[in-house]
Structure 1
Amino acid sequence: MPSRRTLLGLLAGLPFLGGLAAYAAERRPFYTGPLSDHFDGTRFFDPHGSPPKAFTDLLRWQFGGDRRASWPASWPGPGADRPPPRVDDDSLRLSYVGHASVMLQTRGLNILFDPVWSERVSPVSFAGPKRVNAPGIAFEDLPKIDLVLVSHGHYDHLDVSTLSRLHAAHAPRVITPLGQDLVMKGHDPAIRAEAHDWGARLEVGNGVAVHLAPMRHWSARGLFDRNKALWAAFVLEMAAGHVYHIGDTGYGDGHHFREARRRFGGFRLAILPIGAYEPRWFMRDQHMNPDEAVQVMIDSGARRALAHHWGTVQLTNEGIEEPRDALVQALAARAIDRDRFRALRPGEVWSIGPDEA
């Protein structure tokens, strides 16, 4: 007999399922536009990817006996960061908020990736995966936020409540892939969301441009809206070296990451997911493991990498510290200094100077 926790996870907690409580999402307008090599007129797809698993596979995972590690109810970070108002030079100041949320300060811009300050990543507030540590920056301690980049629509990346709070406090520009703006504006029409396709290049000021690039993933918020909005990686183009951010991705054959290197000539920093990867038979096509993340660092030509998507909310079967431990092992196996690919805890900061090689 499945536990109450497992049933609630099925109904509300899995960001890629959304749950019955997200029925209202099915009544919102969906993206319409011309056909392309990754849009068939109704749904998006990755020509180099794999379709998401079927519902029967989800049931097999949940009820088939795959061992699920037990996480602590509380695993607090070392303390909250209080960022400066700005970082005006080419330094990169990275503050780990938790799970997929990272703040980057550089060239006078304050940028948030996939911001989530809510307690749960779920379509409902009373059930679903709950964070085991507070955000690494208290919301009230955020400096003026200029730009928000939201990679896709899963609940652990697109948090409409947080986006609404950010708009009320900072009114940032929000850049997201096609169709995700409709999710945001359906919740709060005031959110300054703009949606773009893979290949778009957008000037955001202070000598910085944002590109949207393919990643091997998919998107949904309910039971019937699978892939009706796009997903994307982001490249921040800067004279001192580019930053490559991936919200979620499988590795596949590595095509997208080698292509990113070919197109952009390598990266000063990659921000890469390392968690939510077990069991591999179910997760392989959508979430890479730490060993694959190190390979992405190599494939993309990134000199450094910051890990995210671990240690804050339990989405899958691995233990809370397993991604970090596996990352250390993967780096050692390739003789890469572990300081070049760091896994921070919420509230920790990594500052990279403008002249660091």
Structure 2
Amino acid sequence: MAARKRAANRYYSGPPSDHFDGTLFFNPDGKPPGRFADLLKWQLSGERAKWPAANPSPFHQARPDERVDSGALRLTMVGHSSLLIQTAGLNILTDPVWSQRVSPLSFAGPKRVNAPGIAFSQLPPIDLVLVSHNHYDHLDLATLKRLKATHDPLVITPLGNDAIIDAAVPGMRLSAHDWGDRIDLGKDAAVHVEPVHHWSARGTRDRRMALWAGFVVETPSAKIYFAGDTGFHGGANYRLMAEKHGGFRLAILPIGAYEPRWFMEPQHQNPEEAVQGMKLCNAAHAAGCHWGTFQLTNEPIDEPARKLAEALDAERLPRERFRALRPGEAWDVPAA
């Protein structure tokens, strides 16, 4: 406990646990986010690669089917960590962001370098939204307002994020959960909220006041693991997913925003670690996200995809097992 009295948690109040000390959430046996001095050291290093102002996807904007057959699994990349999952008659969005910037400011901050892979008006009926944590590149209130107005989906999110969303989008259907919770969706489908190694903040005074998580979507024909945003953490959470769920038809894993390693390693895995994660969680196929749309860190725009291919080759794994998806790209994922 710091010498000065801690500010009360503005988002969540509950009993202490192995990842909540009564005020703040934390990663068990993990590493906290870097200090402000470390952030300044990184930002002033001058080592950031220059991204193009525009980097259009080679794929046209997708026009998804309204639904897919119960045994099928179709994944369409919107951009960054926003993907459309269609399976078992369900349409699910992960961390939906259609805004031009991922920032508290409309005129500054990381700006989109390619259009969303699905035009908002072309979305099929959205049943469910998974919001992994409250960083601006994952929790976009402007997009959630649009989804509420046009689709009225259920939003599943970790503890505390519901307070942020409810204050900005009154009436949105929210379901907030702790690690380990299971949410039944009916028709033998469920969502599990699972631990990842990350952190949260919307500003300078709410760090770690809301929880972060990944999700497992379970249907009769597929188990899908969406890791949200995570550091590798020695593979601990990937091993846990294999032990708990057995394996996955598809894992959606972050592969970008990892440089410089001295600052990013605890919170953002790199492509080599993502390949190890795919193996450890026993995923038959994987899709790479969290790259190529918003410049958040130092690496060149195309490096994550190149490093992913090199890591797969080094492990003698077929490149088609783990695809670095581009906006508008759709993938009918084979059965495991």
Fold in common (TM above 0.5): yes
Q: How does 1:83-94 map to 2 (within 5 A)?
A: 83-94=64-75
Q: 2:180 touches 2:193 (CA, 8 Å); kept in 1?
A: yes
> CA contact under 8 A between 1:150 and 1:174: conserved in structure 2?
yes
* 1:132 and 2:116 correspond: no
RMSD: 1.3
Give 1:88 deviation, angstroms: 2.8
Query: Which whole-Å CA distance do the structure 1 matches of 2:29 and 2:94 have between them?
Result: 25
Alpha-carbon distance between aligned partners in 1 of 2:104 and 2:173, rounded to the nearest angstrom: 22
Q: What is the SS of the residue equivalent to 1:230?
A: coil
In structure 1, how many angstroms separate the alpha carbons of the residues matched to 2:8 and 2:51? Answer: 36
Q: How many residues end up aligned between the 2 structures?
A: 329
Unaligned runs of 5+ in 2: 1-6
> Could you tell me which amino acid in structure 2 is paired with residue 254 of structure 1?
G
Give the equivalent residue in structure 1 for 2:40.
59
C-alpha displacement of 1:239 = 2.6
Match of 2:225 among 229, 244, 250: 244
Match of 1:153 in 2: 134
Match of 1:189 among 170, 173, 180: 170
Q: CA shift at 1:206, angstroms?
A: 2.9
Does 1:143 find its partner at 2:114? no
Q: Distance in 2 between matches of 1:238 and 1:111?
A: 12
Return the alpha-carbon distance in structure 2 between the equivalents of residues 80 and 246 of structure 1: 25
Q: State the AA in 2 paired with 1:140.
A: S
Q: What residue in structure 2 maps to residue 43 of structure 1?
A: 24
Structure 1: runs of 5 or more not aligned: 1-25
The letter of the residue matching 1:144 is P
Does 1:106 pair with 2:87? yes
Identity percentage of aligned residues: 59
Per the alignment, residue 53 of structure 2 pairs with 73
Q: Do the aligned partners of 2:88 and 2:220 also contact (CA within 8 Å) in 1? A: no
SS in 2 for 1:254: helix
What amino acid does structure 1 have at the position aligned with 2:205? F
Superposed CA offset, 1:60-115 (max 9, x none): 001134x1111011111121000000013121110000001000001110000000
Counterpart code for 1:200: D
Letter in 1 for 2:27: D
Partner Cα separation in structure 2 for residue 281 and residue 302 of structure 1: 28
> What is the one-letter code of the residue matched to 1:76?
P
What letter is aligned with 1:251? F
User: Counterparts of 2:79 and 2:300 in 1: how far apart (Å)?
Assistant: 16
Matches within 5 A, 1:2-41: 29-41=10-22
TM-score calculated relative to the size of structure 2: 0.96
State how far apart, in whole Å, the 1-side matches of 2:19 and 2:326 are. Answer: 36
CA offsets per residue over residues 216-236 of structure 1, 9 Å max, x none? 101100001000000001001
**TM-score normalized by structure 1?**
0.90
Secondary structure of the residue aligned to 1:184 is: helix
Task: Give me the whole-angstrom Cα distance separating, in 2, the residues matched to 1:202 and 1:90.
Answer: 21
Residue number in structure 2 paired with 1:331: 312
Distance 1:95 1:61 in 2: 34
Distance in 2, Cα, partners of 1:51 & 1:27: 19
Tell me, in whole angstroms, the C-alpha distance in 2 between the residues paired with 1:90 and 1:178: 32
User: 1:291 is paired with a residue of what secondary structure?
Assistant: helix
Q: Are 2:297 and 1:301 equivalent residues in the alignment?
A: no
Distance in 1 separating the partners of 2:223 and 2:238: 14
Contact 2:113 2:294 in 1 (8 A): yes
Query: What letter is aligned with 2:51?
Result: W
Partner of 2:255: 274
Q: Which residue of the partner structure matches residue 3 of structure 2?
A: none
Q: Which segment drifts farther, 233-242 or 312-321? A: 233-242
Q: Offset of 1:48 from its aligned partner?
A: 3.1
**2: distance between equivalents of 1:306 and 1:90?**
19
* Equivalent runs, 1:345-356 vs 2, <5 Å: 345-353=326-334, 356=335
* Residue in structure 1 matching 2:151, options 157, 170, 176: 170
Distance 2:138 2:224 in 1: 19
8 Å CA contact 2:231–2:266 kept in 1: the answer is yes
Question: For residue 91 of structure 2, what is the amino acid of its counterpart?
Answer: N
Measured in 2, the distance between the counterparts of 1:109 and 1:239 equals 12
Aligned to 1:214: 195
